[in-house]
Amino acid sequence: MTLVKCLVWDLDNTLWQGTLLEDGDVRLPDEVRAVIVELDSRGILQSVASKNDHDLAWKKLEELGVAEYFLVPRIGWGRKSDAVMGIARDLQFALSTVAFVDDTPTERAEVNYHAPEVRCYTEQDVLSLIGLPEFSPEVVTVDARRRREMYRANALRTEEQESFDGPDEDFLRSLDLVMEIRRADDDDLSRVEELTLRTSQMNATGVHYPDRVLRGLLADPAHEVLTITLTDRFGPHGAVGVLLLERHPGVWRLKLLATSCRVVAFGAGTVLLNWLVDQAAQAGVHLAADFRPTDRNRMMEIAYRFAGFTQDPCVCLAGIGDPAGGDVQCLHLVTARREGPATMRLLSPDLTVATSI
Amino acid sequence: MTDRTTTLTAEDLEKELAAYLSEKTKTEVGPADDVFASGLVSSMFAMQLVVHLESTYDVAIIGPELKIDNFRTAQVMAALVLRLSDEAGDA
Ligand SMILES: [Zn+2]
């Protein structure tokens, strides 16, 4: 069952009762309002595809107090399939994760014809949507509930970047980025659950650690489980990374480093890696990193290699045991102090002092 | 080895790569300028750089060759491309 990530609403006689341009006034039942709010709290984004007068319809959504729930609305006189596909494109969702609800059979048929992957629902389904499995993610993370705000902030960011005329680093500096690295607790781990799933795109180590294994290591003094969040002046990016480190006498072993693909462009992976190298240097230890090349993590291999990691042997590696699996490489670095990032502010714990349990 | 790299001299390559770096960083970059020392490039750019060299000059840059010293200037990048396409040609 593929979860729905975005629900696109028709307005007249679907979201609200009545036809705006004919009846002048329309009514939004409390039950429908509750569905909108509930879907939002589950991290499912919502948008609008309506054949209507744009300004009038949007003003009505504002009056009804629900306009803020709808991203990249398409209100006009074009084809609904174009509207739905345009919304999916804007939000960068596959059509198979988009749903469409409309009371008019011909509109549903038109969308179905041009975009068969989009799941269509009728006005009679509206109140039961929240009971359907495709609208019921198993875990609702803190970030899921803030996803709408993050998408909105992202749209503003993209707009500004496109109009920014200068080196990328200057643009990054203009964002007032703040990265926070913390020793994780149970709540923090829930927030990075999407990153620890097997499908995570930017798992730098290419080695999978299930959520329950990470939870089991929270209290283990030999391991550090760290989570990373990022914010900028447009708002939160949310939880964007998770890192698992194992302490040995002469070396720290990086067993997991997964970062969200949302923040690759901000150089988050490199900032993180640099910070870790500096911490290890202060602690007087080398760094080892498990690395399994996949078709998706080449950027991190480049980040490791550009940071100076090699596959050269070192005495420190004798005591750390075998890598996690047969095709996992062990990348190694003799650490030296590094300067902090030039493009963002960093809030971080002092790893040279182990936590006392 | 591609026809393209056989006809390119080291000097041509250096010029081409310096022009590419200048365009990408929106700063004038000479053949011997260290783009990493000046803080001009981000990690994202490192990736773009590797992919650019691989796709434009039909070479594969893997493992130990990915070290930063192979990418600091247009000159060393040109040398890397020529060496890798020579090795591929000999193989
Ligand atoms: Zn070592």
Provide the residue type at A256 as one letter: L
The answer to whether residue A110 scores a pLDDT higher than 80 is yes
The answer to whether residue A60 scores a pLDDT higher than 60 is yes
- Residues A44, A183, single domain; the answer is no
List of chain A residues whose C-beta atoms are within 8 Å of the C-beta of residue B34: none
Task: List, in sequence order, every residue forming a beta bridge with A245; answer none if it has no partner.
Answer: A224, A254
- Residues A193, A335, single domain; the answer is yes
Place of tokens 């040398």: B79
List of chain B residues whose C-beta atoms are within 8 Å of the C-beta of residue A310: 64, 67
- Residues A214, A124, single domain; the answer is no
The answer to whether residue A319 scores a pLDDT higher than 60 is yes
The answer to whether residue B3 scores a pLDDT higher than 70 is no
Q: Residue A255 belongs to a domain with what CATH number?
A: 3.40.630.30
Mean pLDDT of A303-327: 83
Q: Residue A34 belongs to a domain with what CATH number?
A: 3.40.50.1000
* Record: contact B43-A299, CB cut-off 8 A: yes
Nearest C-alpha in A relative to B27? A167
Domain presence at residue A156: no
Domain presence at residue A148: no
The answer to whether residue A341 scores a pLDDT higher than 60 is yes
Q: Which of A44-48, A54-58, A199-203 shows the lowest mean pLDDT across its residues?
A: A199-203
Shortest Cα distance from A293 to chain B (angstroms)? 10
- Residues A172, A132, single domain; the answer is no
Mean pLDDT of A314-340: 84
What confidence score (pLDDT) does residue A180 get?
Answer: 96
* Record: contact B43-A342, CB cut-off 8 A: no
Q: Which of A13-17, A211-215, A266-270, A309-313 shows the lowest mean pLDDT across its residues?
A: A266-270
- Residues A89, A218, single domain; the answer is no
Higher pLDDT, A322 or A15: A15
What confidence score (pLDDT) does residue B19 get?
Answer: 95
Please tell me which of the candidates B26, B27, B46 has its beta carbon nearest to residue A306: B46
What confidence score (pLDDT) does residue A329 get?
Answer: 87
List of chain A residues whose C-beta atoms are within 8 Å of the C-beta of residue B27: 167
Which of A76-80, A160-164, A178-182, B46-50 reaches the highest mean pLDDT? A178-182
Note whether A125 contacts B: Cβ–Cβ < 8 A: no
- Residues A117, A264, single domain; the answer is no
What confidence score (pLDDT) does residue A300 get?
Answer: 80
What confidence score (pLDDT) does residue A18 get?
Answer: 94
What confidence score (pLDDT) does residue A187 get?
Answer: 84
Place of tokens 């039950």: A31
Alpha-carbon gap, residue A337 to A290, rounded angstroms? 22
Shortest Cα distance from A333 to chain B (angstroms)? 12
List of chain B residues whose C-beta atoms are within 8 Å of the C-beta of residue A299: 43-44, 47
CATH 1.10.1200.10 corresponds to the domain B3-90? yes
Task: Give the max Cα distance, chain A.
Answer: 80
* Record: contact B42-A172, CB cut-off 8 A: yes
Domain presence at residue A1: no
Structure tokens, A268:
């988050």
Q: How far apart are the first and last CA of chain B?
A: 10
Mean pLDDT of A46-53: 94
Mean pLDDT of A153-159: 75
pLDDT confidence band for A164 (50 / 70 / 90): low
Higher pLDDT, A142 or B9: B9
Place of tokens 């300067």: A339
Domain interval for residue A112: 6-138
- Residues A190, A128, single domain; the answer is no
List of chain B residues whose C-beta atoms are within 8 Å of the C-beta of residue A264: 44
Domain presence at residue A43: yes
How many separate domains does chain A show?
2
Mutate to test the interface with B, among A306, A309, A330, A344 (most CBs of B within 10 A): A306
List of chain B residues whose C-beta atoms are within 8 Å of the C-beta of residue A161: none
What confidence score (pLDDT) does residue B1 get?
Answer: 46
Q: Which of A354, A339, A328, A332 is nearest to A251 (CA)?
A: A332
- Residues A229, A109, single domain; the answer is no
- Residues A188, A290, single domain; the answer is yes
Higher pLDDT, A157 or A187: A187
Average pLDDT of the residues of chain A: 87
Domain presence at residue A144: no
Domain presence at residue A163: no
List of chain B residues whose C-beta atoms are within 8 Å of the C-beta of residue A265: 44
What confidence score (pLDDT) does residue A357 get?
Answer: 43
Which of A5-14, A199-208, B40-49 reaches the highest mean pLDDT? A5-14
Please tell me which of the candidates A265, A305, A307 has its beta carbon nearest to residue B44: A265
The answer to whether residue A8 scores a pLDDT higher than 90 is yes
Please tell me which of the candidates B26, B39, B47 has its beta carbon nearest to residue A302: B47
Query: What is the share, in percent, of chain A residues with pLDDT greater than 90?
Result: 53
pLDDT confidence band for A165 (50 / 70 / 90): low
* Record: contact A270-B64, CB cut-off 8 A: no
What confidence score (pLDDT) does residue B80 get?
Answer: 96
pLDDT confidence band for B90 (50 / 70 / 90): low
Q: Using CB atoms within 10 A of its CB, is residue A130 exposed (0-12), middle (13-18) or buried (19+)?
A: middle
Mean pLDDT of B17-28: 88
Domain presence at residue A23: yes
Q: Using CB atoms within 10 A of its CB, is residue B55 exposed (0-12), middle (13-18) or buried (19+)?
A: exposed
pLDDT confidence band for A260 (50 / 70 / 90): confident
Report if pTM > 0.80.
Answer: no
Task: Give the H or E element holding residue A26.
Answer: none
What confidence score (pLDDT) does residue A278 get?
Answer: 95
Structure tokens, B47:
């990736």
Note whether A303 contacts B: Cβ–Cβ < 8 A: yes
Structure tokens, A307:
């940071």
The answer to whether residue A356 scores a pLDDT higher than 60 is no
* Record: contact B43-A308, CB cut-off 8 A: no
Higher pLDDT, A29 or A271: A29
- pLDDT tens for each residue of A224-233: 999 999 998 8
Nearest C-alpha in B relative to A271? B43
Please tell me which of the candidates B42, B50, B66 has its beta carbon nearest to residue A168: B42
